[in-house]
A and B are shown apart, each in its own frame.
Chain A
Amino acid sequence: MASGKLSSGFWQAGHRPTLFAAFLYFDLSFMVWVMLGPLGVQIATDLGLTAAQKGLMVATPVLSGALLRLVMGMLVDHLKPKLAGAIGQVIVIAALLLAWWLGVHSFQQVLVLGVMLGVAGASFAVALPLASRWYPPEHQGTALGIAGAGNSGTVLAALFAPLLASIYGWQNVFGMAVIPLVLVLAAYLLMAKNSPNCPPAKSLADYLKVLQDKDAWWFMFFYSVTFGGFVGLAASLTIYFNSQYGLSPVMAGYFTAACVFAGSLVRPLGGMLADRIGGIRTLSAMYVLAGISLAIVSLGLPQAWMSLVVFISAMLALGTGNGAVFQLVPQRFHKEIGVMTGLVGMAGGIGGFYLASSLGYAKQLTGNYQYGFLIFAGLTVLASLGLLSVKKRWRTTWGSSAMTVAKV
Chain B
Amino acid sequence: MKYEAVIGLEIHAQLATKSKIFSGAPTAYGAEPNTQACAVDLGFPGVLPVLNKDAVTMAVRFGLGIRAAVNKRCVFARKNYFYPDLPKGYQISQFDLPIVGEGYIDILLDDDKTKRIGITRAHLEEDAGKSLHEDFQGSTGIDLNRAGTPLLEIVSEPDLSSAKEAVAYLKNIHELVRYLEICDGNMAEGSFRCDANVSVRLVGETELGTRTETKNVNSFRFVEKAINYEIERQIDVIEAGGTITQETRLYDADTNTTRPMRSKEEAHDYRYFPDPDLLPVVITDDLIESIRITLPELPDEKRKRFMETFGLNAYDASVLSSSRPLASYFEAVVKDCNEPKLATNWVMGELSGALNKDGVEIENSPVSAEQLAGMISRITDNTISGKIAKQVFIGMWNGEGSADEIIEKQGLKQVTDTGAIEKIIDDIIAKNPSQVEAYRGGKDKLFGFFVGQVMKETQGKANPKQVNDLLKDKLK
Q: Do A and B come from one complex?
A: no
